[in-house]
């Protein structure tokens, strides 16, 4: 009995959060809506897209998205509509322009700066090493006496 209950819970966990009143009768439009909802983050949930989130905000976002699709907007227009109202945070992958470029370039820039710093540090260490002075002529016989006695 417990096994069946656990299996039911595991198998029903991935069910989408879309309510029956949010589903289009046209399968093509429904597929399009589901694809767009996968691109948008729920602003109050931790890392969920609005298709999987159960919050009131995500439900409102799904309804607004479906209204825009019914009005004939393209995918890009629908995403822009929601982004304009809630900010770029709702996009799982922000546009690569303006201030969001910092997010894409900071990692590689820090890597280059770090590697450059290590290279300069190693180059400086090599220069600091003093060459070993040659033995004076009077030190050579004494060294031979010490080594070979």
SS (H, E, C) the chain: CHHHHHHHHHHHCCCCCCCHHHCCCCHHHHHHHHHHHHHEECCCCCCCECCCCCCHHHHHHHHHHHHHHHCCCCHHHHHHHHHHHHCHHHECCCCCCHHHHHHHHHHHHHHHHHHHHHHHHHHHHHHHCCCCCCCCCCHHHHHHHHHHC
Select, from the ranges 2-6, 68-72, 89-93, 137-141, the one with the highest average predicted confidence (pLDDT).
68-72
Domain ranges of the chain: 27-89
Q: What is the average pLDDT across 84-103?
A: 80
Per-residue pLDDT reduced to its tens digit, 5-18? 666 655 555 444 45
CATH superfamily name and code, 27-89: Cytochrome C biogenesis protein (1.10.8.640)
């Amino acid at each position: 009995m417990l096994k069946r209950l656990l299996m039911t819970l595991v198998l029903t966990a991935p069910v989408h959060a879309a309510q029956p009143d949010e589903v289009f009768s046209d399968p093509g439009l429904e597929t399009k809506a589901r694809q767009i909802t996968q691109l948008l983050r729920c602003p109050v949930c931790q890392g969920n897209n609005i298709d999987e989130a159960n919050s009131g905000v995500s439900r409102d976002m799904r309804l607004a998205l479906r209204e825009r699709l019914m009005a004939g907007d393209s995918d890009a227009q629908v995403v822009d509509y929601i982004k304009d109202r809630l900010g770029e945070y709702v996009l799982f992958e922000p546009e690569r322009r303006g201030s969001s470029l910092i997010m894409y370039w900071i990692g590689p820039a820090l890597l280059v700066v770090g590697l450059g710093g290590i290279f300069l540090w190693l180059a400086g260490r090599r220069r600091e090493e003093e060459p070993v002075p040659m033995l004076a002529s009077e030190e050579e016989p004494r060294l031979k006496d010490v080594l070979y006695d």
